């Protein structure tokens, strides 16, 4: 049996935006007390690790990814005591919790930056990256393209330019300064001591800058992350590091090191290729990306996902794929942002219930530990008229009530969705919990079945040779069990023939619908449009 320190290999993650989740004190903002109230819900859904978006004090120019104090909780969300209470409540349920760790930059409101800009002699000056001109590191791309024109901004007080990879209100820290490196270890220690089970590490590739490079994925960054890992290994051996680094699989994989850097990394290209496959009604985009995905060592794991709190990124797509994705999935300009698409899962799939289920079936059956984005389990929509990425961060819809039951306030932090298709009167947790056929209950069942079969998390993955390109058919297997999975990417009913392992040809249906004829050597399966079927042999 896998030992417990490898818990992340079979975890199901749930990404939760505290401000949007549940307002327990009526101030219009979701809070930590609200998350505690909803732990029963999360447990019912079956997820077992919560990932909290940043909850630190912040001017919220980037929704909390601009941190003004690493050692506290934003007053809208509660206090450090509330945080401890949440961690305890999560652990009591046998669940885990990870938080965002933002290493690359602070808010410009952070006292370090304020001290740095005022006084060139301050020890904090060298916490940031300064220059007299804006001409250094010209090969580094601009990430927030829609808003920023340069990675350098002139600071009047400092009389110099400062470096920032994201908004100008997020100055980059100078990781060449050993003090910055130490500060970040202390911050990690502080939260680990409060009991968090690990970190989703934000914006990993950008920690260091070097002239003549694109300032991404530099060897120095890996060396620092290995230091952080060694520190955790020594003092907190069962906590994890999850990397947010976008790139091709062979590039992201470098963040696993030799099993001595990150435990997990988001599989951005697999996410993108699931959408391409779903729209092209063909498994070949999946075959290509999985063929390009290097094998993992025993103590590392991919983190897979369909959507998150950001735009669906097309940064690393080929130019052709990017144009195609925009055309097919973001026909209106308001749906696009930077190099991506700011829409939620359900609207991306035209609110087509079968297609949404199929997308989840892919997520739960392909290799990796899946992450759900809050609200997608009930098919929440988005609001493309809100600025930045706020349209995919609207209040969670608990019931058919004012503010969707999210808050009693008259002025919630953001309007609840009010479109005909997606308003709380149409999409909410209470109604779906009561309906055995709802999306919520289907997802819940998928998670339950997945959790009972370790072959999904630990098993090998092998494609089944099959001529029909529309159906993704594969085995997931370990010593104990062989699972056969079918995901029909086409809208049509399809028929496929599968050669069987001779000894045993009676499948047990785990999920979906199974319609087949078989003899000892082969099975002919009929599968409806966008259907899926999980079987055990």
Q: What is the DSSP string of 213-245?
A: S-SSS-HHHHHHHHHHHHHHHHH-TT-EEEE--
Per-residue binder mask for ligand GLC (CB under 6 A), 189-228, x = binder: -------------xx-------------------------
Residue among 244 and 466 whose Cβ is closer to ligand GLC:
244
Active site residue 244: yes
361: closest CA among 462, 291, 431, 278?
Answer: 278
Under rule CB under 6 A, which residues in 353-372 are in contact with ligand GLC?
A: none
What separation in angstroms does the CA of 178 have from each of 184, 185, 274? 10, 11, 41
**How many of the other CB atoms lie within 10 Å of CB of 258?**
8
- The active-site residue out of 76, 197, 244, 261 is 244
DSSP state of 148: -
- The active-site residue out of 23, 202, 311, 494 is 202
Residue 166 interacts with ligand GLC (CB under 6 A)?
yes
Nearest-approach distance from CB 245 to ligand GLC, in angstroms: 10
Nearest-approach distance from CB 64 to ligand GLC, in angstroms: 9
Cα gap 280→306, rounded to integer Å: 17
Q: Which residue has the tokens 């042999």?
A: 537
Active site residue 135: no
Cα gap 337→271, rounded to integer Å: 17
Nearest-approach distance from CB 348 to ligand GLC, in angstroms: 18
Q: Spell out the SS3 assignment of 83-126.
A: HHHHHHHHHHCCCEEEEEEECCECCCCCHHHHHHHHCCCCCCHH
Cα gap 67→380, rounded to integer Å: 29
Under rule CB under 6 A, which residues in 319-348 are in contact with ligand GLC?
A: none
Residue 70 interacts with ligand GLC (CB under 6 A)?
no
Bridge partners (DSSP) of residue 473 are 486
At 105, list the tokens: 């930059």
Nearest-approach distance from CB 63 to ligand GLC, in angstroms: 7
Residue among 203 and 276 whose Cβ is closer to ligand GLC:
203
Per-residue binder mask for ligand GLC (CB under 6 A), 25-64, x = binder: -------------------------------------x--
Residue 65 interacts with ligand GLC (CB under 6 A)?
yes
Under rule CB under 6 A, which residues in 371-430 are in contact with ligand GLC?
A: none
Q: How many residues bind ligand GLC (CB under 6 A)?
A: 9
- The residue at minimum Cβ distance from ligand GLC is 65
What separation in angstroms does the CA of 188 have from each of 191, 242, 518? 5, 13, 56
Residue among 371 and 488 whose Cβ is closer to ligand GLC:
371
Bridge partners (DSSP) of residue 534 are 485, 511
Cα gap 530→488, rounded to integer Å: 5
Per-residue binder mask for ligand GLC (CB under 6 A), 91-110, x = binder: -----------x--------
Are 366 and 456 within 8 A, CB to CB? no
Nearest-approach distance from CB 9 to ligand GLC, in angstroms: 24
Under rule CB under 6 A, which residues in 227-266 are in contact with ligand GLC?
A: 244
Nearest-approach distance from CB 178 to ligand GLC, in angstroms: 23
Nearest-approach distance from CB 161 to ligand GLC, in angstroms: 20
Residue among 166 and 374 whose Cβ is closer to ligand GLC:
166
Residue 15 interacts with ligand GLC (CB under 6 A)?
no
Residue among 203 and 473 whose Cβ is closer to ligand GLC:
203
Q: What is the DSSP string of 327-383?
A: HHH--SGGGEETTEE---HHHHTTT-HHHHHHHHHHHHHSSSEEEEETTGGGT----
Are 381 and 421 within 8 A, CB to CB? yes
Residue among 243 and 438 whose Cβ is closer to ligand GLC:
243
Nearest-approach distance from CB 104 to ligand GLC, in angstroms: 7
Residue among 65 and 530 whose Cβ is closer to ligand GLC:
65
Contact positions vs ligand GLC (CB under 6 A): 62, 65, 102, 166, 202-203, 244, 309-310
Q: What residues are annotated to the active site?
A: 202, 244
């Amino acid at each position: 049996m896998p030992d417990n320190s490898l818990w992340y290999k079979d975890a199901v993650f749930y990404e939760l935006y505290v401000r949007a989740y549940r307002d327990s004190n009526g101030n219009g903002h979701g809070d930590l007390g609200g998350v505690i109230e909803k732990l029963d819900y999360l447990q019912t859904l079956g997820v077992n690790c919560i990932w909290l978006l940043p909850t630190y004090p912040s001017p919220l120019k980037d929704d909390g990814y601009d941190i003004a104090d690493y050692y506290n909780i934003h007053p809208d969300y509660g206090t450090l005591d509330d945080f401890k209470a949440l961690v305890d409540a999560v652990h009591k349920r046998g669940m885990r919790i990870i938080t965002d760790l933002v290493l690359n930059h602070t808010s410009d409101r952070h006292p370090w930056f304020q001290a740095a800009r005022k006084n060139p002699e301050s020890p904090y000056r060298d916490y940031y990256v300064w220059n007299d001109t804006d001409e250094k590191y010209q090969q580094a791309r601009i990430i927030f393209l829609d808003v920023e024109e340069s990675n350098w901004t002139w600071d009047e007080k400092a009389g110099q330019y400062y470096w920032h990879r994201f908004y100008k209100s997020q100055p980059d820290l100078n990781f060449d300064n050993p003090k910055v490196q130490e500060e970040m270890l202390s911050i990690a220690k502080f939260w680990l001591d409060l009991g968090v089970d690990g970190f989703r590490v934000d914006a990993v590739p950008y920690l260091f800058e070097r002239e003549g490079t694109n300032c991404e994925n530099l060897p120095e960054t890996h060396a620092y992350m290995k230091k952080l890992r060694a520190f955790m290994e020594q003092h907190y051996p069962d906590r994890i590091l999850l990397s947010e680094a976008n790139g091709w699989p062979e590039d992201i994989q470098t963040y696993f090191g030799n099993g001595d850097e990150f435990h997990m990394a988001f599989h951005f290209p697999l996410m993108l290729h699931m959408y391409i496959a779903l729209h092209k009604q063909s498994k070949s985009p999946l075959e290509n990306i999985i063929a390009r995905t290097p094998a993992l060592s025993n103590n590392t794991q991919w983190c897979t996902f369909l959507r998150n709190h950001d735009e669906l990124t097309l940064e690393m797509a080929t130019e052709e794929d990017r144009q195609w994705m925009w055309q097919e999935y973001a026909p209106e300009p308001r749906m696009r942002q930077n190099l991506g698409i700011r829409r939620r899962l359900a609207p991306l799939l035209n609110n087509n219930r079968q297609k949404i289920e199929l997308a989840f079936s892919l997520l739960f059956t392909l290799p990796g530990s899946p992450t759900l984005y809050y609200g997608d389990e009930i098919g929440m929509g988005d609001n493309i008229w809100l600025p930045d990425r706020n349209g995919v961060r609207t209040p969670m819809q608990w019931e058919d009530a004012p503010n969707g039951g999210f808050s009693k306030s008259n002025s919630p932090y953001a309007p609840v969705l009010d479109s005909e298709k997606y308003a709380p009167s149409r999409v909410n947790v209470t109604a779906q919990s009561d309906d055995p056929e709802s999306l919520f209950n289907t997802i819940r069942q998928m998670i339950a079945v997945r959790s009972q079969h370790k072959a999904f998390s630990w098993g090998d993955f092998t494609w089944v040779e099959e001529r029909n390109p529309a159906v993704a058919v594969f085995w997931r297997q370990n010593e104990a069990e062989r699972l056969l999975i079918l995901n029909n990417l086409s809208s049509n009913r399809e028929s496929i023939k599968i050669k069987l392992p001779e000894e045993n040809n009676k499948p047990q249906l785990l999920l979906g619908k199974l319609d087949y004829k078989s003899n000892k050597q082969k099975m002919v399966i009929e599968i409806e449009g966008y259907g899926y079927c999980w079987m055990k042999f």
